[in-house]
Structure formats: structure tokens, C-alpha cells
Structure 1
Amino acid sequence: MTALSPTMQDGVIAGWLVSEGQAVKPGDALCEIETDKATMPYESPRAGTILKITALAGARAAVGETIAVIGKPGEDWQSVVPAIPAITAIPALTAIPATSSALPALEAGPVPLPAPVIAVPSAPAAVPPLNEPAFPSLGPSLPASTPPSSPLARKLARERGIDLRSLRGTGPHGRVIRRDVPSAGSVVPSTFGGESSTATHADRGAVAARTTGGRLRGDRVPISKMRSIIAGRLGTSWTQAPHFFVRAAVDMEKLLDLRASVNAGRDRPVGLNAFVMRLVAAALERHPIINASWEGDAIRYRPAADIGLAVALEGGLVTPVVRACERKGVEEIDAELADLVARARKGLLSPEEYSEASFTISNLGSSGVEEFTAIINPPGSAILALGAVSKEAVVRGDDIVARRMMRITVSSDHRVIDGAAAASFLSDLKALLEEPARGLL
């Protein structure tokens, strides 16, 4: 198996799109792989016939394990590679619902295959739904009339009391996938999964409370794959990168007036984040050290302002990246950002769309947070934290006036950025936010 992103070590096969005996060509989608950030197709590396599928749908496989064998039509795969074990189930590492049974996972390792038969590497481990046990249960068999669906979709449907037959699949060949299953509380439990369609209002409330993150006191909930990756990356950043922080209060009057002018008559307004990203890119052009990365024995200056925006998901976060913001206008940045955020919330981003940000922005202003500090998102060396915009009494000359103000904080890696450099960047960024025409024209 080959990794689909730098952080992938294993994955779950959401479902096969081909069957044994089927002819394939390079680039054909063989199966779907669910990762911590997205569900992605796994493509065939060569032309041939699917001789054997060794990893069943729902199975967890590590990078380097074999999930299928491609060779010549009619060739006996067992006579060529007899040592490949089938990957049939998910290891019972976490609590499994009482309605399902866990099968032990068989060990499987990469096996060198002589030409013309090759082992198709398995894809990285599929990530379970956020805020749920680390690996999905295969669960009981479904009625013959049940539409094709991914293991995660079936698990969500069981927990939310939803009949899969009532859903319209948007996956390959009409397959029901995770995003097709409505959230708890938006549907009435059906007879599927043992829930009565005449359940009381209190029953529905209890189901919703348990499936929307509500937990009983004393519960011990296994961490998800996404939470594990967040813990590893940010824990490493906090302990290895010596953080320091510089702060400023920004007068947002002119920028907010400019945004209102740009949005006049528009069906979809341009978001404030797009303006901030473009002005940050202008400041980064003047301060290339803020846009650099620590590489142990060298500091790498990034060629473009690839700016990530932290997006909250249920049980975690992802940072979609808008590339080369310095070469784009505000409207282009906004359109690209809106697309990235929408697909991020559906788990549809590809690895290159959420990795390798040279600078990151975290905005908690919409949650009413006035000021905070953020942990640097590697491989970047700085991150900008945006607080809420609020009216404050400000001294202007001899007068006290009401102004819309926002507090910002830049967290910097002292291995790369010195205090004076961070202060100079913050000063220029504050000036650009207060006089946005200087950075947008």
C-alpha cells in the first residue's frame, strides 16, 4: 500500500468498486479509502485483471499491506503469491456495539510479487466518524433490498435509527456514504435498527443526545484517528517550537466599510476572512522570514503565501489551504475558500488541499472570543489568531470615539523568527488592516 498523504500510516477500505475477474487499466478507481480527513479513491497502478481481493470492505490495512492482486486473465494468484493472507476484519481495539461481532484481524505484510502479477498496495487507514470509537463495526448483515453503502454510513444509520433504504446515495454507483446520513435529531427514528417509528419525543431526545456528542458522566471514549493526529502534530509543535506571542488591537472601521461596499448588491457576500488572507499575504511579501519553515539544518523560505484557515469539524479540525494568495484578488480567494471549507466539512478534501500551509489563520471571532493565542501549525513558523470585532471607546487625539476593534495575536517559532521580526510584521499587518487600500490595490 502507498500512503495518500505524508501522515497516513494505515486506513479502512470503505468499499470496493471492482470485483475479482474484472479488467482494469491504470488510473481506474479500485476502492474507496477513508482517512482522517477525507474519503478518497484508490487507483490501479497498472493494467490487468483483478485476480484476488485480499482485503474486504471495512477492513483496516497498513501502508505496505496487500489488498488485491492484479495479473493476467486466468492466472492462479495462489500459485504465484501463496503467502498473502486475507484482511477480513477490523481489529477489536475499541468497544464494539452489542449488535455486532468483532473478528480478529489477520497479520498481513508486503509480499514481493514476481512479474507479471503485482500486489496492489492498500490505502491508508480509514478514519471512523468523529467523536466515535476508533474503528467502525461491520455490524449485522443487511437485508437484500438495502442499497450499497459504506461501513461508516451503515454504522451511523444504525446509531441514528435511520433506514438506509430511505436515503439517496451520492457515492460511486449510487452508494450511500457518510455524508448522506442525516444528523441525529433531523430525522424520526424508523423501524431500522430496532427503533420504533412511533418512538416518543423523549426517546428521540435521548437518541439525539447520545449521537450528537452527548456523553454520560464517567464515559471513557476512545480517541478518533483525527484527534490522534491533531494531538501528535500540535503536541510536537508546542514542545519542539519555542513559541512567543505579539499582540495588537486593530481599528477595523475602514476594512469593514470596504467589505460592505464590495458586497453591495452581491448575492453571496465576500467573507471577512478573504480580506484578511489577502492583506496577510501582502504583509508576508514584505517579511519573508514570517513565511519560512524550520528544517533542522536550514531555514526554507517559501516561494508563495500558501495560507491555511483553521476550520472546525465535529470532533476535530482541518486547515484547507489557499495557494499563492499574493497573486489572487479578494473575490477569487473567497470563492476558493468557500469551496474548500464546504468540501472540508463533507470530508472530501484531498491531502494536498489541507497540507503544507506556509502561514495559518485561526478565527474564533464568530464564537465571541475577544483574544486568544494559537499553536503554530507545522511546517509554518507563525499563526495569526483573530478575535471578535466589537465596539470600543478609543482615544483619538483629545476625543473619545466608538470604533469597531479587533484584537490579533501572532504566535511565532523563535527558532526561525526573532522578536523584532515578529513585531515588525505585526506592525505592518495592523497598518494594512487599518488602511486596506494599501494592500489590495
Structure 2
Amino acid sequence: MKMVMPKMGMTMEEGTIVEWKKKDGEYVEKGEIILEIMTNKINIDVEAPDSGYLQILKHRDEIVLVDEPIAIIEKSPEEKLKELVELPAVSQEKKETEPMRVIPPESIPSPSVRGAGKIPVSPRAKILAEERNLSLDTIRGTGPEGAITEKDVLTALGEGRGVKAEIEEKGELEGGGILPGQEIPAEPGRHPGREVTNVSPLAERIAADRGIDLSLVEGTGIGGKITKEDVFRYLGTHKPEPAFTGMEKPHEIELEEFEEEIVEIEEKVIKEEIPEEVPEEEIVEEELPPEGEVPQIIEEITEREGEVMGEVPSPEEELPESALPAPHEPPKISGESIPLKGIRKLTAERMLRSKKEAPHLTLGMEADMTEATKLKNSLSVTYTDILVRATAMALKGHPMLNSTLSGDTIILRDEINIGIAVAREEDLLVPVIHNADTLSVKEISRMTKDLIKRTKNDQLTEKDVLDGTFTLSNLGMYSIDFFTPIINPPEAAILGVGAVSKKPVVIQDTIEIRERITLSLSFDHRIVNGMPAALFLKEIKTLLEHPYRLLVEEGS
């Protein structure tokens, strides 16, 4: 069963593998937590969709698209073995060339009516029947569960010597099975009982469950590594038979058996495509210019080029090292190497995507924060709380700033969900205040404190970071006055907030010291033009300079 990257939210497009709780090849139970992924900058535990052996496809720190396979929950070894040795039933539809029908010898029972299910057919038998234009429904299989073997096909063609005679002569079954009383022979180069280390975890687990000596299994992986397919193949070819029944086991195709036929077919194709003799009238002799003319032309060209370019060195002459281009080598940089991974890598990719897809335009505007500072102190809230409230109110009158672009369609969002950029020691998260336009300044303050605390302690849930419609980034506490924030996709805009500082301001021909702040609005120019963006920013400025309107709106 395939296990895919789950879609944990409407906007989720990909997830990052954080940690596998189980090892490759380990048996897992359905509903057991086996994986931790990161999406939208939070970590989520994922359960096993089924029970079985875990085969990991995507590893730690890999970024995987939604619905892309990340692992396989293997079936039991018995079911997997059955898949390897059974082939789909041969189609019973009539082909363009009517197959040759051969009446089986009297010693072979007449063919029985086959159902529409799978008919076990060894690969050699299938290919041989197709090569000889023989329909498989005319053959009675003598292998396990009526499986058709190569010797069944040869017998039907009148070329077989009989299964039992050849088994008695060779002392073994075709698929590598053994007769009763025989020991399983060690393959060439194999030493029973020796320790094997070059083996996949899943293959080792299956071998242990089935009591298989891995020193007898031939590895076909990289560097001779033993894979699960090697173990299943060994199960199919070395499992002792309970009693001799004269039946053969289907087995893998050996190309050497058909080497002579392939050569004959290739020679036949070559003879058909290439005629033995070419008619003389088709041979056209190209006339050459009189002797001496071509060298003369070449000499003239060489002389003219030599006047302009100088002498051209002959191929035998070696160019000086100074004339050869220097090999390109990456510059050697000294210092500590820090891998770009986790949330830092996800943030980098989202920011790059934003700058590539959305044409950014940033507007700046100063606002007087003298009255807002008084309100902040009286309510015991922060500048961020007041700014969230003012932004939410302004967005109600400017819905284009609270939208997203999907293909060729602009979607005006029903909710106003404002994300707050919160910096941690090594990364950045954006928890979301949902329905911010319906909350009072005090409610926003309580919610902001809770979100920031849980962000610092890595306790955010998936809901806390999903469905943001607008983002606010405040760098004022770091004495930053102005910056150009990058839009948080798929949103349409982001508001950058600078430091509140005292500045001299001219008011009615007098100079006063006032609290001032600089706001910077970055927006997606595909969605919003300059004028509506400027009007939106001006409304935020007005609300901040008359902050008691924020309280009046709460009671209305």
C-alpha cells in the first residue's frame, strides 16, 4: 500500500519529512504514529494507514509534494511472493493472426476451461508460446496450481522429452526446486552461515521471519546488496517441495536461452533491409576537379587568412599553457557550514517564490503616534495590538488588500485573519489572529500574547498558522525605522512597522516634539494598484492618529 504526503490544509502544496519514528524494514501497525512532517512551519504526526513492513521512499529533510508517495507498507512475504511468480492471464481476444493450434499428445490431459482470473505462467513458457505462435489456452499446466511451464509448451509443440525423464536425468526441478531427500545446494561463491552485512533492513526482516540464511541469497542491488526482491526470489526458487509431483515452478527469464533465436531474428532483419547487390545504374561516381586545382584554392585561402590572422598552428603543435582556458573551479570559502533545512529552508523557498511571482511595490508613510501611545499605556497593551486592530478595521473598507490571486481570478476573502511575524532564534513563524475585525484591542492583546508565547515554546497547532489573509511585521523594537517587507504568499499585501520615536514636528507654525512611526506597505501589483494601496495606508494612519475610534467601533 502506498503512503503519500497528506494534505493538511487548503493551501498546503508540499510538506517536509522531519523524522521517521520507525526504521526502514520495520513492521508497523495501522494507526501507529510512524512519521513527523512539517507543513506551514509546524510539525504534525502522521499515522500508518495500514499494517505491514515499512519501506521508506522519502527521507529526512526532503520536501515532498502533496499526494506524492513517501513510503510503501509492504504486504506479508507470502502475498508478495505470489505477486512475483504469477503473471496476468493471457488475453483471450482474437488476434490478427490466428494462432496455431496443436493437439496435445495422449499422455497430456485435454485442456480445461480457464476462468478470467490469473493463470500462473512461467516467463519462459509465455515467451516461448508467443514465439511459436501457440495459444496458451490449448496447454494443460503441470506446475503448482496448474501453472504452465516451459516444458508444458515444448510438450505441446512435440519437442519435449517429458518432465519426469528430464528431472530424473538432472536430479532437480526446472525452477531450481529440489527433490525429496536432497539438501539445498549452496550457490557458487556462497558460504552458508557466514555473516552478511550488505543487506537492506526490509530484506533482513523478511529473511529472519522466514528462517532464511542470507549467506545463501545472491544480492542484485548496488555493490551486491541483498534486497527484498532477492529474498522473495530465493523463496520462490529454493523452497523445498513436500513431495515429488512432477510439477515445475515458474521462474525468472534467462536471456541466454533465447540468445540463438535473437541472433537469427537480427540476421533475418538485416538481410531484408539491406540488399545483397546494388544495381550499377544506381551507383553515381562524383566527379573530382582536375588534379592541382583544389590544393591551389586551399593555398590561396590559407595565404589570405594568414595575412589577417597570422599563422595557424598545425594540429601536431601544442598550444602554450597560457593560451589554454583556465579550468573553472568554485572558490574556496573558509568558515562554518550550516545546512539550509527545516523551517529556515521552507521560509527561504516561500520568500523566493513570492519575489518571483508577485511584482512587489512598497509605499512608505509616517504617522503620529502621540495619542496612540497614551491609549497603549492606559490599556496596558502593545503597539502591535493597536496596529492589528487599526489594520483589521481598514481592511474592511479595502477588500482588495485582503484578497488572493488564484490563476486568473482574484478571490476576496470573507474573513480578516491577520498574521503576526514572530522571530525565533533561528527561524521565523507567522501565527494568525482569526477574525481580527471582530475582536477588541484587549482581546487582540490577550490572543497575541498567547500566540507569541506558544510560538517561542514550539507549541503552535496547525490551525494557528493557517488561513492568514494579511500579515503585519513589526521591527520597531529593534530600532528599525523603514524596510521593505516581502509578501507572505498567497496573500496580497504585508504591512511593515518601524520604531516609534520622538521627532520635532511643525504644527500650526510651531515646533512640537511628537511620537512618530514609519509604516511601509508592500503589495502585489497584479492585484492592487498604487492609488487604492495609498488610500488603505492613509486610513491606517488616520486611525492611529485618532485611536479612540478603535474603541468606538468596538461598541457599535
TM-score category, normalised to shorter length = 0.5 to 0.7
> Residue in 2 aligned with 1:117?
none
Deviations 1:373-427 (A, max 9, x none): 1111111111101000111111111221111111111111111111110111111
Contact 2:57 2:69 in 1 (8 A): no
Deviation of residue 279 (structure 1)?
1.1
> Residue in 2 aligned with 1:244?
361
Instruction: Give the Cα separation in 2 of the matches to 1:224 and 1:68.
Output: 25
SS at structure 1 position matched to 2:490: coil
Q: 1:314 to 1:77 in 2, by over 3 A?
A: farther
> Residue in 1 aligned with 2:400?
289
SS at structure 2 position matched to 1:388: coil
Q: 1:68 to 1:422 in 2, by over 3 A?
A: same
SS at structure 1 position matched to 2:338: coil
Instruction: Give the Cα separation in 2 of the matches to 1:87 and 1:259.
Output: 62
> Residue in 2 aligned with 1:231?
348
Instruction: Give the Cα separation in 2 of the matches to 1:22 and 1:15.
Output: 10
Q: 1:302 to 1:68 in 2, by over 3 A?
A: same
Deviation of residue 338 (structure 1)?
2.5
Deviations 1:63-91 (A, max 9, x none): 643546398xx9967457889x8689xxx
Q: 1:400 to 1:416 in 2, by over 3 A?
A: same
How many positions carry a matched residue from both structures? 303
Instruction: Give the Cα separation in 1 of the matches to 2:340 and 2:422.
Output: 19
Instruction: Give the Cα separation in 2 of the matches to 1:412 and 1:228.
Output: 24
Highest CA radius of gyration, 1 or 2?
2
Instruction: Give the Cα separation in 2 of the matches to 1:336 and 1:82.
Output: 58
SS at structure 2 position matched to 1:54: strand
Q: 1:395 to 1:41 in 2, by over 3 A?
A: same
Q: 1:284 to 1:68 in 2, by over 3 A?
A: same
Question: 2:499 aligned with 1:376, yes or no?
Answer: no
Question: 2:517 aligned with 1:400, yes or no?
Answer: no
> Residue in 2 aligned with 1:192?
none
Gaps of 5+ in 2: 86-199, 204-221, 228-332
Q: 1:373 to 1:350 in 2, by over 3 A?
A: same
Deviation of residue 220 (structure 1)?
3.8
Q: 1:410 to 1:56 in 2, by over 3 A?
A: closer
Q: 1:20 to 1:310 in 2, by over 3 A?
A: same
Deviations 1:21-78 (A, max 9, x none): 77655xx644434568333211354xx6x3323349985675643546398xx99674
> Residue in 2 aligned with 1:427?
538
Instruction: Give the Cα separation in 2 of the matches to 1:340 and 1:80.
Output: 54
> Residue in 2 aligned with 1:54?
55
Give the aligned residue type for 1:13. Answer: E
Contact 1:320 1:353 in 2 (8 A): yes
- The structure with the largest helix share of the pair is 2
Find 2:436's aligned residue among 325, 337, 341: 325
When the two chains are superposed, the root-mean-square deviation of aligned CA atoms in Å is: 3.6
Deviations 1:260-303 (A, max 9, x none): 1112xxxxxx3321221111000000111111112231111011
SS at structure 1 position matched to 2:45: strand
Task: Give the share of equivalent positions with the same residue, in percent.
Answer: 30
Contact 1:67 1:87 in 2 (8 A): no
Contact 1:40 1:348 in 2 (8 A): no
> Residue in 1 aligned with 2:47?
43
Gaps of 5+ in 1: 89-102, 109-215, 264-269
- The structure with the largest strand share of the pair is 1
Find 1:280's aligned residue among 391, 405, 414: 391
> Residue in 1 aligned with 2:5?
2
Question: 2:374 aligned with 1:257, yes or no?
Answer: yes
Instruction: Give the Cα separation in 1 of the matches to 2:202 and 2:346.
Output: 24
Instruction: Give the Cα separation in 2 of the matches to 1:409 and 1:60.
Output: 35
Instruction: Give the Cα separation in 2 of the matches to 1:410 and 1:393.
Output: 24
SS at structure 1 position matched to 2:14: coil
Deviation of residue 241 (structure 1)?
1.7
Contact 2:54 2:74 in 1 (8 A): no
Instruction: Give the Cα separation in 2 of the matches to 1:319 and 1:313.
Output: 11
Q: 1:217 to 1:346 in 2, by over 3 A?
A: farther
Deviation of residue 20 (structure 1)?
7.0
Find 1:386's aligned residue among 497, 506, 529: 497
Instruction: Give the Cα separation in 2 of the matches to 1:272 and 1:81.
Output: 66
> Residue in 2 aligned with 1:12?
18
Q: 1:23 to 1:3 in 2, by over 3 A?
A: closer
> Residue in 2 aligned with 1:203?
none
1:117-266 equivalence runs, <5 A: 217-263=334-380
Instruction: Give the Cα separation in 1 of the matches to 2:79 and 2:459.
Output: 34
SS at structure 2 position matched to 1:249: strand
- Provide TM-score, normalisation by structure 1: 0.60
1:48-87 equivalence runs, <5 A: 50-55=51-56, 62=64, 64-65=68-69, 67=71, 69=73, 78-79=80-81
Instruction: Give the Cα separation in 2 of the matches to 1:236 and 1:22.
Output: 37
> Residue in 2 aligned with 1:208?
none
